[in-house]
Amino acid sequence: MKKLLLLTTPVFLIATACSDIWLEPFWSEYELPGGPAQELRDIAAGPTGEVWVVGRGGEAWYYDEESWVNKNSCFNYYELTGVTPDEGGCCWAVGADDQENGRILRYDPDDGWSEIELDGAAFLADVEREPGGKVIAVGSGGEVWRLEPSRGDWELIYENDALLWRAVSAGADRSLVVGGDEDGKGFYAWIVNGEMEDPRTCDCGRMEDAKLLDSGDAWLLAVDGAVLYLSDGELTTVAEIGCSLFGLDAVDDGTCFTGGVGGLLYRVDADGYEQVESGTTQNIHEIALLSGTEGWAAAQTTLLEYR
Q: Look up the pTM and report it.
A: 0.91
In the chain, the percentage of residues whose pLDDT exceeds 90 is: 82
The pLDDT assigned to 40 comes to: 98
The pLDDT assigned to 11 comes to: 40
Reading phi first (left if > 0) and then psi (alpha if -120 to 50, else beta), residue 272 is in: left
Lowest mean pLDDT among 54-58, 150-154, 226-230: 150-154
pLDDT exceeds 70 at position 185: yes
189 band by pLDDT with thresholds 50, 70 and 90? very high
281-303: per-residue pLDDT in tens?
A: 999 999 999 999 999 999 999 99
260 band by pLDDT with thresholds 50, 70 and 90? very high
Residues 163, 181: contact at Cβ < 8 Å? yes
Instruction: Give the right CATH number for 44-306 from 3.30.365.10, 2.120.10.80, 3.60.20.10, 3.40.720.10.
Output: 2.120.10.80
The pLDDT assigned to 17 comes to: 44
20-30: per-residue pLDDT in tens?
A: 565 789 999 99
pLDDT exceeds 60 at position 55: yes
Residues 59, 37: contact at Cβ < 8 Å? yes
Selection from 131, 178, 138, 135 nearest residue 153 by Cα: 135
119 band by pLDDT with thresholds 50, 70 and 90? confident
Look over the chain and give the mean of its residue pLDDT values, rounded to a whole number. 92
* Dist. CA 132–CA 149, nearest whole Å: 9
Task: Dihedral sign for Cα 64, 70, 71, 73, please.
Answer: positive
150 band by pLDDT with thresholds 50, 70 and 90? confident
In the chain, the percentage of residues whose pLDDT exceeds 70 is: 93
Query: Which are the contacts of 80, defined by CB distance < 8 A and separation ≥ 6?
Result: 41, 42, 54, 55, 56, 58, 59, 60, 73, 93, 94, 95, 105
Across 263-268, average pLDDT: 98
For the chain, which residues make up each domain, given as ranges? 44-306
The better pLDDT of the pair 39, 12 is held by 39
